[in-house]
Amino acid sequence: MTNYETVKLAEGIFGFIPPENNTAFVSGNSVAIIGDDGVLVVDSGHAPTTTARIISDIKRLTDKPVRFLVNTHWHPDHNAGNGLYREAFPGLQIVSTTATRDAIENVLPKKEVSPEMADIVRKMLKDGSYNGKPIDAETRKYYETSLPQLDAFVPELKKANHALPTLTFDSRLTIYLGRREVQVMFLGRGNTAGDAVIYVPDSKVLMTGDLVVYPVPYPFGSFFGEWIETMKKLAAIDATVIVPGHGPVMHDKKYIALNIELLEATKAQASDAFKRGLTVEQAIKAADFSALRKQFVGDNPERAFGFDQGYVPAGVTRAYREAKDGPLHDED
């Protein structure tokens, strides 16, 4: 949650990449793009203590000010450090899509982890059940691992400042850091209603936000039909360095292609289940991703838990709703 590796992505571009984390308390990747007269940062992280360290690292890398901070989407692990950047760099512009700004203001406060969550998890582990339903061994292990991190995270929640974006766009925004061009684009809805991607043409570095997450996609609140098309547009960008919202830096598009294959399979199976009259619960049980699952999780039990308990129920539910109701208009 608080560790990261500083990775040089290209000349003047540095990624701050947390290790793979198989608990609920993750932090998104962050990137600093240094130009002739300033810096653009992509995402501000989840733990303000870590954000403060990254800001110090950026100041060691360059004496140029951070002029722009781009929030790829509204999920709190990508923008809890907004206020720290604003304090450190007066005149900073915080950039996002219009939809993301609206969600940070109106949706995020209802979704953010509460300080009481640690006590809820502690009671669940003690009772061996949640909402009257027994928890299985894998779920218990997951939350036993998560609990110490949650306890440590409570002080961070109190320090978080999800300062609102000050500059919004709906399609495309080109920012010039002197001679260095940075393209900030909305390719379509996907993981959220307002996913922004960032591309630096001179170095072919692409930042995807949570449109791409490793090792398993995040389908919560997603828009399946549009997500597939958005991912195809993403794959068409001439990038040789790809920074996902979570996970290691990539140098080819194989994982993007694998994601597209999984999303298409999820949409097809959920649609078929709806047409056959299955309930959403039955559709989740009937879903078969065995071949694709192996490619995502290998023999890693933590990744398997994330796929089985995270991706499948949430992904099939969203795709089923889309098959039943048509294009979705919320992220619940």
Separation CA 73–CA 77 (nearest Å) = 10
Residue 100 lies in a domain: yes
Split at pLDDT 50, 70, 90, the class of 332 is confident
List CB contacts of 328: < 8 A, sequence separation 6 or more: 223, 318, 321, 322
In a domain, 153, yes or no: yes
pLDDT at 23 over 70: no
Q: List the CATH number of the domain containing 82.
A: 3.60.15.10
By CB neighbour count within 10 A (0-12 exposed, 13-18 middle, 19+ buried), where does 134 fall?
Answer: exposed
Global confidence as pTM? 0.93
Shared domain check, 196 and 154:
no
Residue 145 structural domain = 113-159
Q: Is 331 contained in some domain?
A: no
Q: What is the pLDDT of residues 81-127, one digit of tens each?
A: 999 999 999 999 999 999 999 999 999 988 776 667 777 788 888 88
DSSP codes, 129-141:
EETTEE--HHHHH
Residues 6+ apart with CB under 8 A from 277: none
Domain count, the chain: 3
Note whether residue 18 is domain-resident. Answer: yes
Same domain, 206 and 167: yes
Beta bridge partners, 94, equal 69
Looking at the fold, whether 151 and 281 belong to one and the same domain comes out as: no
Percentage of residues in the chain with pLDDT exceeding 90? Answer: 78
pLDDT in tens, 139-195: 787 778 777 777 777 788 788 899 999 999 999 999 999 999 999 999 999 999 999
Regarding whether 80 and 35 lie in a shared domain, the answer is yes
Asked if residue 246 and residue 267 are part of one domain, the reply reads no
User: Please, which pLDDT band fits residue 1 given cuts at 50, 70 and 90?
Assistant: low
Q: Which stretches of the chain are DSSP H helices?
A: 48-61, 82-88, 98-106, 108-111, 117-127, 137-159, 224-235, 254-275, 280-286, 290-297, 301-305, 312-325
Residues 188 and 93 in one domain: yes
Question: Residues 143, 270: one domain?
Answer: no
Same domain flag for 63 and 10: yes
